[in-house]
Amino acid sequence: MKEIANGMPFINDEKVIGKWDFFDIVSSQDNFNPIKVINSTFNKGFKEIYFLPEGEKYWIFEGWTKGYLLIHYGGNEPILTYKYNIKDIDGSSYMFIEINENAETYIEVLKKVSERHYKLKEIGRRENINIPFVFDEKIIGDWNTVGFVDNIDEFCGNINLNDTFWLRKVSFYPNGQAVREYSDEEWHDKWSKGVLIDSTKSTVSQYTFKTIDSVEYMFLEWKMGNYVYGGMPPSYYVFKKETA
């Protein structure tokens, strides 16, 4: 018998396969009313989940088996197991996922929007990375991370030297090459004027400059799993140029 994460046996559930959009958060399933949505804008880091055939995993979703969804938030974090059940209401299918965290229990509600049997290569955002190289003297050099924000206007030069970031530095070279230095690895990318090109994830992240209190900062779109698979808008890493 096929197993998924945590050694759980895979049991098929045709009703769950397809695409589900985040719909609401309620205190209990009995309190759910599809006409009176309460928390549709609650930020969970994703707006959609694909249940792929055979319980196949992707991104933070470590797979599924009948009645259960497994999630892993990375690193040394444990793989979490969440119960789900499905209910048809007024011609639509809703999924209710039990969440227990920080001594709090609530229900995440998803609405099924497609019954298609998606393949992994079909999901996620893919952008045109065939961009001709245009030189930009201003970006050349090493840029050190000083912040991470959801929106550019959130950053007001409020640098906390005690903060640690997964992405530590980005170096832009005159030949169009770029290197992202993470806490545990390096990623080699390309760039052109105004953008950083990630050929692995097929994304193009825009960079922009902003001067705050006479200091110039560079803001770079963060297009990782939340953006590629979660349907969320990009966040921003904030950088300050390294001086000799």
The DSSP secondary structure of 136-171, one letter per residue, reads: -GGG-EEEEEEEEESSGGG-SS---TT---SEEEEE
Q: How far apart are CA 157 and CA 161, in angstroms?
A: 12
Domains in the chain, CATH or no CATH each: 5-122 (no CATH), 137-241 (2.40.128)
Classify residue 228 by its DSSP letter: H
Per-residue pLDDT of the chain (244 residues; tens, 9 = 90+): 788 888 899 999 999 999 999 999 999 999 999 998 866 666 667 889 999 999 999 999 999 999 999 999 877 889 999 999 999 999 999 999 998 877 788 999 999 999 999 999 999 999 999 999 999 999 999 999 999 999 999 999 888 766 789 899 999 999 999 999 998 899 999 999 999 999 988 999 999 999 999 999 999 999 988 899 988 899 999 999 998 6
Entry pTM: 0.80
Exposed e or buried b for every residue in 150-167, given b needs 16+ CB within 10 A? eeeeebeeeeeeeeeeeb
Helix (H, G, I), strand (E, B) or coil at 16: coil
Contact 218, 132 (CB under 8 A): no
Side chain identity at 46, as an amino acid letter? F
Residues with Cβ within 8 Å of 61's Cβ and at least 6 positions away in sequence, in order, are 49, 50, 69, 70, 71
Handedness of CA 148, 150, 152, 158 (dihedral sign): negative
